[in-house]
Amino acid sequence: MAHSDACLKCTICIAACPVYRKDGEFPGPKALGPEWHRRHLAGTGDLMDHVDDCTFCQLCEGACPVGVPVAHLIAEHKAAALPKQTWPMRVRDTVLTHPEWVARAPVLTRATALVPISRWLKLSTRSQRPSVRKAPRLSRSSRRAAVGGGRPRVALFVDCFDRGFDTEAMLAAQALMEVFGFEVHQVPRTSQCCGAAAYASGRVAQARRQAGAMEQAIRGELRGDEVALITLNATCQGTIGEEWSKFLGLNDLPVPVIPFHVFALQHAPAGFWSTVAAANVDPGSWTWTHTTCRGRRRGDGALFQLARRAGMDQVEPLDLECCGAAGSYAFKAEHAETAHDIGQPAAAQIHGRPGVIWVDSGTCAVHLEQLAGRTARHPAYWLWQAWLTSQSASATPPAPAGHGEPRDGGS
């Protein structure tokens, strides 16, 4: 990895780490990443306790002034520590690092509601499980393009979470982009994982295999004229857009990979925003936006701009760098407490005020909803609701229609 030995010991990564700032036993990114790695290369790198307590949020890496791949060095450290895992944990992590299996049969998560099973697998009994939100059929008239003319094409990436648990958000994104004037097709057809979950758990070789299979599937399904591959999950966005080429040995895809909300800000026509804003869907209510830790690799504030542009009444970012969910992290029993401590400030911030949360990852939405007691969904879902309201206000009766559900799984 480039720059792995560039650490200046400045400590800026430590000041960025959400786990270090909640858990007194956590040695922090500098010690677990570059310092361990130097010893490891010298053959004196003993495995350190608590390396698995790292959420792989990558905030340390984003903060480092000299580009040390801090979090990815920690992932190697985790990989070296894998043989120390007990076998129930191995079983558990095998399932958690194959979200593509869960996406095919989301009903499986119900089994883990049985406390003895969860206990044995060291699954958290505290962290809420996602519920399945299956899309209703979409009306054709509500999806009419707001602009005419030839329609450029985009591919919409179907991530495991949305495939398994939130086809509503997936179809909302598809319908919105059609309204923006694009032809949309979903990739990949079959349930696959980009490798994010395995990488976060230190299963680097497995991540490489999963990513390779996913890359093949996507390449095979791209038609060659797409202007972008659109993602709904910040973690998959970061994995496909950045880690595949930088850390997993894959070539960049032939299209730019762009989060849905960024695409919407760039490509939705002005008329769309004015129509939605005029509908004034949430008078007196709050919209909290949260850019997930992995989303921050691109920056912070675009979700806030999206909610404002859509005319939401009062918009406020959550004061969190990371909510603590971190993919499957919060579902592991040994991490439940830290995950909840990290996200807890959201509850204090929201306290007593009505409103909803817009967040660019499904697992973070589940976690925030539990902590803050407010409905948390993907921005595509909220934007689509606002658009539907604006359309019913304009009194055109929607005609029934239905296509576009993911072809694999989804129920």
Partner 1 sequence: MRVVVVGQGPAGLLTADWAHRLGAEVFVAAAADGSLALWSGAWDFRSFADSGEVVRDPWQWWDLHGRQRGVAWNREDWVRWWTRWRDTWSAAGIPLAAGAELPSHNRWTPTAVGRLRPVFVCPAWQWAADEPEPVIWVGLEGLADTPIALASARYHALTGMTATGVCLPRPDAWVPHWSGLAWSVYVDSEPGRQWLTEALTRALRDHAGTSPVLMPQMLGQDGCETLIGQLEAALGRPVREYALLPPAVGGIRIRDRWKRALKRRGVTWVSGTVGAVRKEGVQFRDTGELLPADAVVLATGGILGGGLWLSAAGELFNTGTGEMVPWSGRMEDLARAGIGTEGPAYRAVGRVVGGFDSDRDGDSGAVNLYTVASAMEALFGERTAGEGWQHSEEGP
Binding region for ligand SF4 (CB under 6 A) out of 70-78, 170-178, 206-214, 298-306: 70-78
Question: What is the CB neighbour count within 10 angstroms for residue 374?
Answer: 17
* CB 24, min distance to ligand SF4, A: 14
83 DSSP assignment: G
Does 13 bind ligand SF4 (CB under 6 A)? Our answer is: yes
* CB 107, min distance to partner 1, A: 38
* CB 377, min distance to partner 1, A: 21
> Residue 188: is the preceding peptide bond cis (ω within 30°)?
yes
Q: State the binding partner of 15 from partner 1, ligand SF4, none, CB within 5 to 8 A by kind.
A: partner 1
Contact residue for ligand SF4 among 56, 161, 165, 304 (CB under 6 A): 56
Helix (H, G, I), strand (E, B) or coil at 40: helix
Closer residue to partner 1 in complex, CB, 273/331: 273
Contact residue for ligand SF4 among 51, 74, 135, 232 (CB under 6 A): 74
Q: 200-219 burial, b for 16+ CB within 10 Å, e for fewer? A: bbbbbebbbebbebbbebbe
* CB 8, min distance to ligand SF4, A: 4
Of 135, 147, 133, the residue nearest 174 (C-alpha): 135
Contact residue for ligand SF4 among 51, 59, 222, 307 (CB under 6 A): 59
| Phi, psi for 140 (deg, rounded to 5) | -70, -40
Closer residue to ligand SF4 in complex, CB, 8/105: 8
Q: How far apart are CA 3 and CA 6, in angstroms?
A: 5
* CB 27, min distance to partner 1, A: 5
Under the phi-then-psi rule, with left for phi > 0, alpha for psi from -120 to 50, and beta for the rest, what region is 48? beta
- Positions in the binding site for partner 1 (CB under 8 A): 10-12, 14-16, 20-25, 27-28, 31, 62-67, 296-302, 304-305, 308, 316-317, 319
Of 19, 6, 22, the residue nearest 51 (C-alpha): 19
Closer residue to ligand SF4 in complex, CB, 16/248: 16
Strand order through the sheet with 257-259:
183-187, 153-157, 226-231, 257-259
Instruction: Check if the beta carbon of residue 51 is closer than 8 Å to that of residue 32.
Output: yes
Contact residue for ligand SF4 among 27, 36, 52, 57 (CB under 6 A): 57
Name the site residues for ligand SF4 (rule: CB under 6 A).
Answer: 7-13, 16-17, 19, 29-30, 34, 54-60, 63-64, 66, 68, 70-71, 74
